[in-house]
């Protein structure tokens, strides 16, 4: 019997290793926070030096939570995936049910029957119970019109030829493979949701640390400006400006805390746990992000392994298999039937034992147009699924090209931000020295310091976006694995080293 050609489905397994991360005891290097006005006595300079040495590092030292471990928790915690797993298990039973239609159908039954009749025998009795010579005991039940039958039977039906049932097996197998891919797509979507929440939490936690350092720096700056004003050697405008910058730093920290709470809340929703990220940030220039190997067309060619594309392909095959099953309704069916009947009765003439064997051929001739309408419906469903496949292929190719552009742009932007960080750090040092010599005012120092903190936040955000695009690229070609998650974690760890 011809069978639908099966394509081997590449299994999409997520083997996520759970590894502990080392505790990091790193701190953010803070540039000098010396402020003052020209002509301030040397005591103020000594006070400035003391304040610089007493500045706290940015955040607390807490090891990064394991990204693969969090994803493993998400797999166990996600109710939608649990529902899909049950649906997959239920769908696998379609194969068993389809095969059952090709196997022998055996049934057994028993019955008891009481019958009261008015017929020829009851109307014309030829048996006189008082005269045993005339009649016979065998006729007694019949002439009385009362019979009691007990019977049992066994029957077997074996399909010899049924194209519809054979194709039903192919359709069921295609449905199961589609359900497996649908579950894999759900796992991939969950992985990206966990990744984005994780990276957002990392960015927000480091931003909280930076904003806290910024607040502390501006608070010290404000104290020094206030002290200078009280001693009569400072400017009231400088004091008010430092107060305004301090208030803004406090507001920025509150906003960063809200962003962190939102990101951690999303992780808690996905994984059932609320991990700790700490706030440590080290030498940002230590991170080494590499460009993607291979040209664009090579990556686009790999979209054939995209899970959504493969799912659309399988769904098209399901529709085609369903159409073939419907079309087989035009073909005849041949069945072998075997049966055995044993009946006992108080009427000896009704007792019998029957054994039967038959080959039955059923040819569909006319069913009111049902088969042709059903076949046309299947053909239209196949056309719809083919268009859906084309749509998914275009989306996958577009996603790959977009991710590659983003990665290239992120690398260029990261290089520019690195140079800007160096320039801003040098400008801050020059502004501080110029302010000490009376060549710069406090506003220049505050602007330079605020700009440096903002650049650090932007730098981390670009790293985060690079990792999102890099991992999304792996998803687009159906190749995301635990190794990719571990490499992303290692990249984040480099941002916390060298403090």
Q: Is residue 118 part of a domain?
A: no
pLDDT at res. 353: 92
* 193 occurs within a structural domain: yes
Q: For the chain, how many structural domains are there in total?
A: 1
Domain-located, residue 359: no
Tell me whether residue 7 is in a domain.
no
- C-alpha of 154 from chain center: 51
pLDDT tens for each residue of 286-342: 788 889 988 999 999 999 999 999 999 999 999 999 999 999 999 999 999 999 999
Write down the pLDDT at residue 219. 85
The rounded distance, in Å, linking the Cα atoms of 184 and 225 is 60
Q: Is residue 349 part of a domain?
A: no
Residue 443 belongs to some domain of the structure: yes
Residues 20 and 66: beta-carbon distance below 8 Å = yes
Query: Does residue 78 sit within a domain?
Result: yes
pLDDT truncated to tens, each residue of the chain (499 aa)?
444 443 343 343 333 333 333 222 222 232 222 333 333 333 333 333 333 333 334 444 457 899 999 999 999 999 999 999 999 999 999 999 999 999 999 999 999 998 877 766 666 666 555 445 444 556 666 667 788 899 999 999 999 999 999 999 999 999 999 999 999 999 999 999 999 999 999 999 999 999 888 888 888 878 888 887 778 766 788 788 888 988 988 998 999 999 999 999 999 999 999 998 887 887 787 788 889 988 999 999 999 999 999 999 999 999 999 999 999 999 999 999 999 999 998 878 788 899 999 999 999 999 999 999 999 999 999 999 999 999 999 999 999 999 999 999 999 999 999 999 999 899 888 988 887 887 777 788 888 888 899 999 999 999 999 999 999 999 999 999 999 999 999 999 888 875 4
pTM of the shown model = 0.76
Which position has the token pair 């068993």? Answer: 96
Domain housing 73: 42-104+162-330+367-494
Alpha-carbon dihedral sign for residues 222, 227, 232, 233 = negative
User: Which H or E run contains 160?
Assistant: strand 146-161
Burial 4-16 (b: 16+ CB within 10 A, else e): beeeebeebebeb
**Is the distance from CB of 158 to CB of 149 less than 8 angstroms?**
no
Dump pLDDT digits (tens) for 456-470: 999 999 999 999 999
Under a CB-based contact definition with an 8 Å cutoff, are residues 484 and 215 in contact?
Answer: no
| CATH number for 237 | 1.20.1600.10
Token couple for 467? 């990792």
pLDDT digits (tens, 9 = 90+) for 357-369: 999 999 999 999 9
Q: Does residue 234 lie within any of the structural domains?
A: yes
Secondary element (H or E) of residue 491: helix 482-494
CA angle 188/190/193 to nearest 5° reads 115
């Amino acid at each position: 019997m011809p069978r639908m050609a099966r394509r081997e489905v590449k299994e999409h397994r997520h083997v996520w290793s759970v590894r502990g991360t080392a505790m990091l005891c790193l701190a953010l290097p803070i540039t000098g926070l010396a402020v003052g006005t020209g002509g301030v006595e040397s005591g103020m300079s000594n006070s400035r030096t003391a304040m610089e040495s007493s500045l706290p590092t940015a955040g607390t030292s807490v090891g990064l939570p394991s990204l693969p471990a969090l994803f493993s928790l998400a797999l166990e915690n996600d109710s939608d995936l649990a529902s899909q797993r049950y649906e997959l298990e239920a769908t696998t039973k379609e194969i068993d049910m389809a095969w059952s239609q090709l196997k022998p159908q055996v049934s057994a039954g028993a019955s008891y029957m009481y019958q009261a009749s008015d017929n020829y025998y009851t109307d014309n009795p030829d048996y006189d119970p008082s005269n045993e010579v005339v009649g016979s005991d065998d006729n007694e039940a019949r002439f009385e019109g009362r019979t009691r039958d007990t019977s049992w039977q066994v029957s077997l039906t074996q399909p010899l030829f049924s194209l519809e049932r054979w194709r039903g097996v192919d359709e069921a197998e295609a449905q199961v493979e589609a359900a497996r891919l649908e579950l894999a797509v759900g796992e991939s979507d969950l992985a990206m949701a966990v990744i984005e929440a994780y990276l957002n939490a990392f960015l927000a936690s480091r931003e909280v640390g930076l904003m806290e350092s910024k607040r502390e720096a501006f608070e010290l700056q404000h104290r020094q400006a206030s002290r200078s004003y009280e001693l009569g050697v400072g400017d009231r405008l400088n004091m008010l400006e430092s107060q305004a910058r301090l208030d803004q730093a406090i507001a920025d920290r509150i906003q960063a805390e809200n962003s962190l709470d939102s990101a951690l809340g999303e992780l808690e929703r996905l994984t059932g746990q609320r991990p700790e990220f700490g706030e440590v940030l080290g030498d940002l220039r230590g991170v080494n992000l590499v460009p993607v190997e291979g040209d664009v067309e090579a990556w686009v060619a790999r979209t054939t392994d995209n899970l959504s594309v493969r799912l659309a392909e399988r769904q098209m095959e399901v529709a085609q298999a369903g159409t073939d099953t419907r079309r087989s309704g035009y073909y005849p069916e041949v069945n072998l039937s075997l049966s055995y009947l044993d009946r006992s009765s108080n009427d000896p003439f009704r007792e019998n034992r029957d054994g039967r064997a038959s080959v039955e051929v059923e040819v569909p001739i006319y069913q009111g147009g049902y088969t042709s309408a059903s076949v046309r419906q299947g053909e239209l469903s196949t056309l719809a699924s083919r268009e859906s496949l084309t749509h998914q292929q275009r989306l996958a190719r577009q996603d790959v090209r977009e991710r590659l552009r983003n990665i290239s742009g992120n690398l260029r932007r990261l290089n520019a931000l690195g140079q800007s960080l160096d320039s801003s750090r040098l400008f801050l040092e020059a502004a501080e020295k110029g302010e000490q010599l009376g060549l710069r005012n406090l506003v220049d120092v505050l602007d330079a310091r605020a700009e440096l903190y903002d650049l650090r936040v932007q730098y981390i955000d670009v790293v985060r976006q690079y990792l999102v695009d890099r991992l999304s690229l792996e998803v687009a070609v159906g190749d995301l694995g635990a190794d990719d998650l571990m490499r992303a974690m290692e990249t984040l760890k480099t941002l916390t080293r060298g403090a």
